A = this chain, B = another copy of it.
Amino acid sequence: MSEFNIKVTNICFSYPDGYEAIKDLSFDIRHGESVGIIGANGAGKSTLLMILMGLMFPICGEITIDGVLITKNTLPKIRQSLGMVFQNPDDQLFLSTVYEDVAFGPRNYKLDEEEVCNRVCDALEMVGISHLKERASFKLSDGEKRLAAIASVLSMQPEALIMDEPTSTLDPKARRRIIQLLNSLHHTKIITSHDLDMILDTCERVIVIKEGRIAADGKTKDLLSDETLLDHCGLEMPLSFQKRRST
């Protein structure tokens, strides 16, 4: 694996209707770092992730990945090294069975079928849903769908993982499993979530976004225990930091 740095310089972005979702963001992510991106509903987290993936282009500013500027021409190559899990797993699973869905990525890279099969089985194993291999993806429960979506990205063996709320709708056990999985992977990771406890468990560093701007960027432990900062950004301390209130 090569050095893999993401450098975002002064990007801003407006939706076609003129809504300014991202305003002058800059940060650097070094190879192997895992970074949590948090903020209130509508802060611009998903928008930021889409821009990182080159699904939308910033209006000003630039993004380089591994020194390569993201442009229309460099995209196909860059995307090969990035894997993204969407907020809604239904958007990510479009084939009939779980196996087909997870095999879709590797097959597109023209790997031979044996290699594809290996990768698929590994990925399913990793998220712990090998038993669902032949099930139809649309009949799964919500949580199972999410796990399948994560597997479909892992099978592509990307160098960086970008995940939009990977643990919402998961039951506590599955959530814990994903946390452990994330901690066992040495990829560069960028994760958004409203589950600040999960962020606390998986990310060393946190970027807090408020209305399209960076409100804070620093060590997870420091930021997530700063009650005034969090409150100011429409957030709350992780539940495990909070004392039980009387019910």
Contacts and interface: CB of A to CB of B under 8 A. Distances in A.
Interface of A: 17, 39-43, 46, 87, 139-144, 165, 168-176, 194, 196-197, 200-201, 221, 230, 234-236, 238-245, 247
A174 B40 contact: yes
A234 B171 CA distance: 7
A239 B240 contact: yes
B244 A144 contact: no
Contact of A201 (B39, B176, B241, B247): B247
Given A239-B238, A244-B240, A168 B169 contact: yes
Contacts of A17: 139
**Main DSSP-derived SS at the A contact region:** loop
A239 B41 contact: no
A245 B234 CA distance: 26
Given A17-B139, A87-B142, A201-B247, A41 B170 contact: yes
A247 B199 CA distance: 11
Which 8 interchain pairs have the tightest Cβ spacing? A41-B143, A172-B236, A239-B239, A42-B141, A40-B171, A173-B234, A41-B171, A239-B240
Contacts of A41: 141-144, 169-171, 174
A88 B201 CA distance: 27
